Structure 1
Amino acid sequence: MSAELTLGAEEELHLIDLETKRLSARAPQLLSKLPGDRYGAELQRTTVETNVPVVTSLSDLRREILLLRKDLVDVASQSDLAIAAAGTAPRSEFADFELTTTGRYGRMQEQYRLLVDEQLICGLQVHVGVSDRDLAVQIAGRVAPVLPALLALSASSPFWNGQDTGYASIRSIIWQRWPSAGATGPMRNAAEYDRMVQDLIGSGVIADAKMAYFDIRPSSHAPTLELRTCDACPIVDDAVLIAGLFRAAVRKAEIDIVDGKREVVRAAPIHRAAMWQAARGGLAGELLDLGAHPERLPAAQAVRQLAAVLRPQLEELGDWNDVEGLLEQTLARGNSADRQRAAYAERGWLDDVVDLVVKETHGPAAGDLPTLPTLTGYRFRAGDEAIGPGLRARPAYSGVAEFFRSLDAAEIERRCERRDTFAREAGLSFVVDDELRGFGVDLVPRIVTHHEWKQLAKGLTQRARAIESFLQDAYGTRRIVADGVLTEAQVVDAMGWRVEATLLPNGTVRAPVQGFDLIRNEFGGWRVLEDNVRSPSGAAYAVAVRTLLDHVVPEAPRPAGLLDPASVFELLHDTLLAHTGDSGVAAVFSGGPESSAWYEHRALAEGARLLLVTADDLEVRDQHVVERTSGTVIDALYLRLDDELLDVRAAHSDDLGVRIMDVASRGNVFLANAPGNGLADDKAMYVAVPDLIEYYLDEKPLLESVPTYRLSDEAEKLAVLDRVGELVTKPVDGEGGVGVLIGPSAHASEVATRRAEIARDPARWVAQEVVTLSSHPTLTPTGMEPRHVDLRAFVYLTGVGPTQSRLADFALTRVAPEGSMVVNSSRGGGAKDTWIIGPEPAEEGS
């Protein structure tokens, strides 16, 4: 009983029309020009399969794959076609499917219907010679725990039906729908396996043994054990790496069988979970280790662990040096799913993704050699926005990263001193607990591409319009309650409800300035974390940070189309005067120097040509609000108060706030960000925003929220009490990060205290699933280090119509301290400049 350990492979390759970038169904024409023993048809006419002859070494496998691809490319190019080795073609859509016309495939389509029609997928099959079928069946069960790592390495199908699926390998998810896919579980011999296959055939579920689509199976036509788990790989060396690891796993299993070593049996649901996990995250997420009761590991650590376990067999086969080098190359550049998403993020064009996959499939075995230098010493993690696998800057950051990498320790210290001096002299500060603090600024800018900003603009203006519609309705007729979308208690008993807000005239825009806190997860997806509708701060700080960078690092290369955050001043001015007329007078109504954002109040007033007033500057005369000294009538007050308006008092008027509210109720002064807006940024109301969008706008939400539990609901409260240590919990009326507890990083005593607080007053709390914030390089005395970041963006509204809201041309990136995910300045966080890329001139004029 022995394994021959030869190698073979089958590659399924998409045919791509070079003009349209879509799938082409001309496989039959191409196959008529190619040798039938090396090329074959597949279920779909958009695919050609190559059959690599039996070889004995990884270098021979590489050579044969390259030769087969080259000959296919030569024939395809004559018809203006290209080939793409990927789990899914990035531009594939359901309508692209065309069945290969054979009786067998026709029968399959008749029987399986949609399962056949959605098979626009391509895989990589690897064969290892195992001439004894009893041995092959036993090995198949033992090597199952290595399959998730191999799938993660191969993952190349994030896009399907024209969109990002959220999976690194959607192909494997589609494939698992076949009734004969997945794991067989441990089997003793070939007779047991054959009997199981015959039972499947007898059931009528499959037609023949070829339809036994298991993750690993003894080949039905050759003396081999066949791996069927992986996506097709654009870069040949990724396929060679997978073949090397699989062959070593087969050899290890053979030795364990011969030595009588007990098999580690992993429960079938755990195997399915591990495969799903690999398909979801690929190399950017986590994988399970090799044990029967596995633990989660970062994917890179898991695949290195696998290689280390298999090292004795790899050395025996003479493959260790090759596999070790190939593995590090793959981890350095990421798998195909990572690279495809990076290509799409640049401009949001699927054609760019198609071009990348085609180029890699047609290219050299190792792919294109990287041209960017590595950022030596940087602590890379999945989800870093600026630095990719291999410690190389992502394309948008190539110039910026090289500039900061070139600074030595002395120069970094000099720049940081200049930064601190500039911030101090500019008065860049904020107040926490009556203490004036400096506003920390990191010098490495964050870049948001034009494509990303366009998507955020659509999603955030939609969200802002729905929130404004809700506020007007909630303090008006409350038809949302009458229609049963929300209950009366959810509105009028919410912590943010203010009865005086019902006094404002119907149609009054209540939240013309809205701020949104956004995060990106490790897969690059944007999520809205919080809505800020009372008095969101950050606009003036964003302008100041840009000015600071222009002063401290003027040489850092600016990208073309960089938007100017100072445009916020004119935008704020126009937004306020839209409610008063161009001849009106608008003012920033501040709590004064003791206010937490006094710096911002002064900067906004000066930049936007507004008056800056406090309570002592105002009085009510003849049912108008006037500036006391000059008698100037103020038509719009932008409320930036730390207290409620009704509680505002002045030395000359104990009821000034009440009187101003009375003027507003008569329509004689417009209150920007009016009393009662806390109803909409109550964190319990955050849960309902998707419902608000659908109810008021009749649209599907364009931006996702973070999964959130409203603890006033008894069922959700009980579920959260069991998981406080796994969730983020926060008070519904909290601001500035106060009261936020991140369960996984909290002490047991803190978790116990929070659990008791929730049980005592559940309506005061919400809970959210932990979403790991993306990271970004931050300049430190020792160089660049990653820190977690979020993004505060602002929408300005003059109404609820489709053209009455605008995402401002700036955003404030907030940076968490080292080891933290809390970005609020009051909790030790800082900020960095956000470089938003505007449209190309041609696009802007179109």
Structure 2
Amino acid sequence: MLTIGVEEEYVLIDPATGVPVARAADVQAAAGRQRALTAGEVQRELSQAQIEVATPVCHTLDEVGGHLLRLRHCLAQAARGCGCRLAATGSVPFTDRLGVPVTPSPRYLRLRRAAPALVDEQLINGMHVHVGVPDRPTGVRVMNGLRPWLPVLTALAANSPLWHGRDTGFASWRTVVNNRWPASGPPPEFAGAADYDRRIHALVDRGLIADTGQLYWQVRLSERYPTVEVRAMDVQLTVDEAVLLAGLVRGLCARAVTAAQRPFPEPEDSGSGAAEPSGPPEHLQPEHLQAAVWHAARHGTTGVLHAPLTGRPAPARQVAAALLARVDEALAATGDRDRAAFLLERLHRDGNGAVRQRRALRRGGRAALIALIVDETA
């Protein structure tokens, strides 16, 4: 059974207006006084209105769900004590003209100097799933295996339809905002671990990114942990949705790890560059995958999606069913098959975060939307 861990990013909002408030330091300090939290579980994020949590290493989805509930409840209580609310939304629906200052850490301040407008607009929140892998060569095989499914994960997880007080027309506006950075979106295919390491360090050595922490691909190898880190998903309104996505991601990784047991020789490092991988099917070419992610961000689960197994458009529910079937064996092995099927059907029935946000705004205006986000977050 592969280990799993989840990171979630949240925004702190004013309970009446829904605009972000720069109180992350106060909320982190208040949360730190609660016995239910341990050191390192709550961290600061890029802006002073954002805060992040990280679960411990987990072995079951029950553990993942339990830790996320605990962390959300603690932060929600701390936020209320500081006069704001915790919001698990992929984008900030409402803003004011004042903006939100950056967290004053050397890294974040350097980032703002390098790309001020991008940083000022980076009020987006993701969910990152770490899945343990035996080694870096296996991790690269897993990355390659996940690439075709990144649009499907993007669509299911879409929870950021609103931006600056208006509907963007996209289900995941966070995906669009995040993909403006130099190394973002779906990653390229790699020939192996040596190829991966050579190419990411070339980006740094040539001054194209400051460090490997600026690899904002939708899936990458963690430089801190022996994990593959999947970053395609918006933060989810509810813990149940986060658990579903974590289970699907782990299932995809488990299938790819099994496939990685087959021989896959690392290319010789002759100093002249790694050998090119054998060409993927046409629908896995980078330009096709990039376009499929864009369409997934645009339509979410309400339209058609790129079907990884055929390369053709198909209804979102049909493509999601193909994903569930693909990870069926892995879910059965961990005892999560029935839970995943139930949660996925509920997502289709009730709508993902983007659908529910739009529905709340349409039915009850700003107050109803704020209430939905705050209530479902905690």
TM-score, structure 2 as length reference = 0.91
Structure 2 runs not aligned, ≥5 long: 33-37, 265-277
Separation in 2, partners of 1:100, 1:205: 23
Q: CA deviation at 1:36?
A: 4.2
Indicate whether 1:350 and 2:363 are aligned.
Answer: no
Q: CA deviation at 1:95?
A: 3.9
Aligned partner of 1:300 in structure 2 is 317
Q: Do the aligned partners of 2:99 and 2:120 also contact (CA within 8 Å) in 1?
A: no
Aligned partner of 2:270 in structure 1 is none
AA of the residue aligned to 1:102 = S
Q: CA deviation at 1:141?
A: 1.2
Change in 2 beyond 3 A, CA 1:51/1:263: farther
Match of 2:57, SS? strand
Indicate whether 1:268 and 2:271 are aligned.
Answer: no
Q: CA deviation at 1:351?
A: 2.9
Separation in 1, partners of 2:96, 2:208: 27
Indicate whether 1:277 and 2:280 are aligned.
Answer: no
Q: Do the aligned partners of 1:182 and 1:213 also contact (CA within 8 Å) in 2?
A: yes
Report how many aligned residue pairs link the two structures: 357
Aligned partner of 2:198 in structure 1 is 195
Give percent identity, aligned residues only. Answer: 36
Indicate whether 1:151 and 2:154 are aligned.
Answer: yes
Aligned partner of 1:22 in structure 2 is 19
Match of 1:343, SS? helix
Aligned partner of 2:2 in structure 1 is 5
**Aligned partner (choices 328, 336, 339) of residue 353 of structure 2:** 336
Higher relative contact order (CA 8 A, sep 6+): 2
Aligned partner of 2:142 in structure 1 is 139
Alignment of 1:714-729 (within 5 A): none
AA of the residue aligned to 2:43 = G
Aligned partner of 2:181 in structure 1 is 178
Aligned partner of 1:86 in structure 2 is 89
Aligned partner of 2:109 in structure 1 is 106
Q: Do the aligned partners of 2:21 and 2:100 also contact (CA within 8 Å) in 1?
A: no
Alignment of 1:242-253 (within 5 A): 242-253=245-256
Separation in 1, partners of 2:95, 2:137: 41
Q: Do the aligned partners of 2:128 and 2:230 also contact (CA within 8 Å) in 1?
A: yes
Q: Do the aligned partners of 2:150 and 2:186 also contact (CA within 8 Å) in 1?
A: no
Separation in 1, partners of 2:210, 2:39: 24
Aligned partner of 1:225 in structure 2 is 228
Q: Do the aligned partners of 1:91 and 1:351 also contact (CA within 8 Å) in 2?
A: no
Separation in 1, partners of 2:202, 2:100: 31
Aligned partner of 2:59 in structure 1 is 56
Alignment of 1:379-778 (within 5 A): none
Deviations 1:289-347 (A, max 9, x none): 113x6111111111011101221221122221111111111111110110111111124
Alignment of 1:774-793 (within 5 A): none
Q: Do the aligned partners of 1:97 and 1:118 also contact (CA within 8 Å) in 2?
A: no
Aligned partner of 2:208 in structure 1 is 205
Aligned partner of 2:118 in structure 1 is 115
Q: CA deviation at 1:6?
A: 0.4
AA of the residue aligned to 1:26 = R
Deviates more, 1:72-81 or 1:187-196: 187-196
Aligned partner of 2:274 in structure 1 is none
Separation in 1, partners of 2:10, 2:39: 16
AA of the residue aligned to 1:240 = V
Q: Do the aligned partners of 1:218 and 1:224 also contact (CA within 8 Å) in 2?
A: yes
Aligned partner of 1:361 in structure 2 is 377
Change in 2 beyond 3 A, CA 1:148/1:313: same
Match of 2:86, SS? strand
Separation in 2, partners of 1:351, 1:24: 17
Separation in 2, partners of 1:189, 1:93: 47
Separation in 2, partners of 1:341, 1:23: 19
Q: CA deviation at 1:263?
A: 8.8
Aligned partner of 2:328 in structure 1 is 311
Aligned partner of 1:764 in structure 2 is none
Runs of 4 or more consecutive aligned structure 1 residues displaced over 4 Å after TM superposition: 260-265
Q: CA deviation at 1:259?
A: 3.7
AA of the residue aligned to 2:95 = S
Separation in 2, partners of 1:94, 1:225: 38
Match of 2:127, SS? strand
Deviations 1:720-751 (A, max 9, x none): xxxxxxxxxxxxxxxxxxxxxxxxxxxxxxxx
Separation in 2, partners of 1:73, 1:334: 24
Q: Do the aligned partners of 1:94 and 1:117 also contact (CA within 8 Å) in 2?
A: no
User: Aligned Cα RMSD in Å?
Assistant: 1.7
Q: Do the aligned partners of 1:142 and 1:186 also contact (CA within 8 Å) in 2?
A: no
Match of 1:287, SS? strand
Deviates more, 1:90-99 or 1:154-163: 90-99
- Structure 1 or 2: more strand by fraction: 1
Separation in 1, partners of 2:301, 2:327: 19
Separation in 1, partners of 2:131, 2:96: 34
Separation in 1, partners of 2:157, 2:187: 22
Aligned partner of 1:327 in structure 2 is 344
